[in-house]
Amino acid sequence: MDNIRSSQIISILDALSRVIEIDRASAVKRIHEYESMSDKEVIKDLSMFIYNNFKNDSELYDYFLNLIRNINPTLIPNTDYMKKELYKKFMNKKDSMTINDNHKIVCSSLKQIASLFNDEAIDYVAVGALPCYLACSVPLSRYHDDLDFMVNEDDLESVKTIMENAGYIFNDYRFPDLDEFHEMKTNTPPHQVIAQSPYNDFHIGFFTFVRNKDNSITTTEYLQRENNGEVIVDRLERNYSPLGTRLRFEDEFKYGGVLIKSCSIEEVYNLKGTLRRPKDIADMEVLEKFVDKSKLKELRQNTNTKEIKKNIPFEKGMTM
C-alpha cells in the first residue's frame, strides 16, 4: 500500500475514532489487511463500515463517504452514487416494495417527468408498455423496474439538468473512458444514458435519437470497443421515414392532466412480438384488443434502414 493511501486510511480511521468507539487492535488489523487490497476493495469495505454506523446521520454519513471517495475519486462518480450502491446492497427495496407502491412510483414519475419535459420543450417520446397501458386505461399488473424515454440528443444537456434537479443521479456512458468501459463490461448498466433514483432500484432509461429536417427520426445506439488501450465508439443508426416516424413515435394522451408524448400501441405490440419474453407475451395479450390492425400492417411494411458509422469522435456537448 503506497504512503499516500496509507495516510488517507489512517486519517479516516483517526477521524472515526473521534465520533465512535473503535478498537485499536481492530483498526491496526484493518490497515494491515488493506495493504493487499485494491483501491476499489478498500473503498467498498470502508463504505460498508460507514453505512452500518452512520446511515441515520446524514451529515456524518456524507462527510465520511466523501473522505473515502477521495482515496481514488476516479473510481466513484460522486457520493450519491456510493449511497445508491450501499442502499441497494443493504436495503433491497425492490424486494420489500409492494407492487401497489411500485405502480404509484412509476405512474407519478411518468407524470412528473413528462410535465417537466413539456415545460422545457424537450423533444421526447415515452416508450414501452407502461404508457400504452395508461393510454388505454388498463390497470397495471406487473412490477416495473424503470421508465423508458427516447430523447433528442440535442436536448441531453437539458435532460441532465432536469433529472438532477428532480433528485436523480444522471450518467451518460455513450463515450466512456477506459476505466468506465471495463466497469461496463463487468457490470453492464441497464441503459447507456440513465437517471438513477438514489433511494431504490427505480431508474429512468434513455434511448437517443436525432430529429431530421423532415421531422423523421434516426435512433442512435452507441457500440464501444477497445483498441490499443483506447475506447473506440461506433454508432448504429436506424433511419425511419416521416411516415414510419408518425406510425411509431407521435401518439399523445393525457394522464392525470398531463400531456404524455408516447410511442404507439402498434409499435409496442410489434416490438414485443419479436422479443417474445414472458412479460412481452403477457403485454401483447393485454394490448391486442387496442391495436389498430390496419395501422399495424402499415407499420410493418414501413421498416427502418440501418447504418453503422465507425469511430464516432467525441464532440463537446455530446456527453456529460
What pLDDT shows up at residue 126? 98
Contact 267, 273 (CB under 8 A): no
pLDDT-based confidence at 56, cuts 50/70/90? low
pLDDT of residue 93: 46
Check residue 320 and give its pLDDT. Answer: 42
**Residue 160 contacts residue 142 (beta carbons within 8 Å):** no
Q: Which positions ≥6 away from 170 have C-beta within 8 Å?
A: 159, 160, 163, 164, 194, 195, 196, 320
Residue 185 has a pLDDT of 80
Q: What is the pLDDT of residues 96-155, one digit of tens each?
A: 567 888 899 899 999 999 999 999 999 999 999 999 999 999 998 888 878 999 999 999
Task: Single out the residue of 242, 189, 253, 185 nearest to residue 216, CA to CA.
Answer: 242
CA distances from 233 to 160, 176, 188, 225, 318 (A): 21, 9, 16, 6, 12
pLDDT for 202: 81
Per-residue pLDDT reduced to its tens digit, 9-20: 888 888 888 888
Give CA separation, 315 vs 174, 175, 224, in Å: 12, 10, 16
Q: What Å distances lie between residue 4 and 12, 38, 75, 129, CA to CA?
A: 12, 14, 17, 52
Residue 35: what pLDDT? 86
The residue with cell 441497494 is 88
Which of the pair, 142 or 294, is modelled with greater confidence? 294
| Phi-psi map region of 167: left, alpha, beta (phi>0 left; psi -120 to 50 alpha) | left
More confident residue, 141 or 165: 165
Spelled out in words, what is the top-level CATH class assigned to the domain 102-309? alpha beta
pLDDT (tens digit per residue) in 171-192: 999 999 998 888 888 777 889 9
CB neighbours of 95 closer than 8 A, spacing ≥ 6? none
28-37, 277-286, 287-296: range with highest mean pLDDT: 287-296
How confident is the model at residue 55, as a pLDDT? 63
pLDDT given for residue 319 in this prediction? 44
Residue whose C-alpha cell reads 433528485 in the numeric block: 167
Predicted TM-score (pTM) of the model is 0.69
Lowest mean pLDDT among 23-32, 138-147, 267-276, 293-302: 23-32
- In the structure, what pLDDT confidence band is assigned to residue 244 with cuts at 50, 70 and 90? very high
239: pLDDT confidence band, cut at 50, 70 and 90?
A: very high
How confident is the model over 214-222, as a mean pLDDT?
96
Averaged confidence pLDDT in the chain: 87
| Residue labelled with grid coordinates 445508491 | 84
Tracing cell 483517526 back to the chain, one arrives at 14
Q: Which residue has the higher pLDDT, 83 or 97?
A: 83
Three cell numbers, residue 183: 466497469
Predicted pLDDT of residue 224: 94
Average pLDDT over residues 232-236: 96
Q: pLDDT-derived band of residue 258, with 50, 70 and 90 as boundaries?
A: very high
Cell of 236: 448504429
Q: Give the length of the chain.
A: 320
- What three-state secondary structure class fits 153? helix
Q: Is the pLDDT of residue 195 over 60?
A: yes
Judge contact between 251 and 128, C-beta under 8 A.
Answer: no
Residue 99, pLDDT score: 82
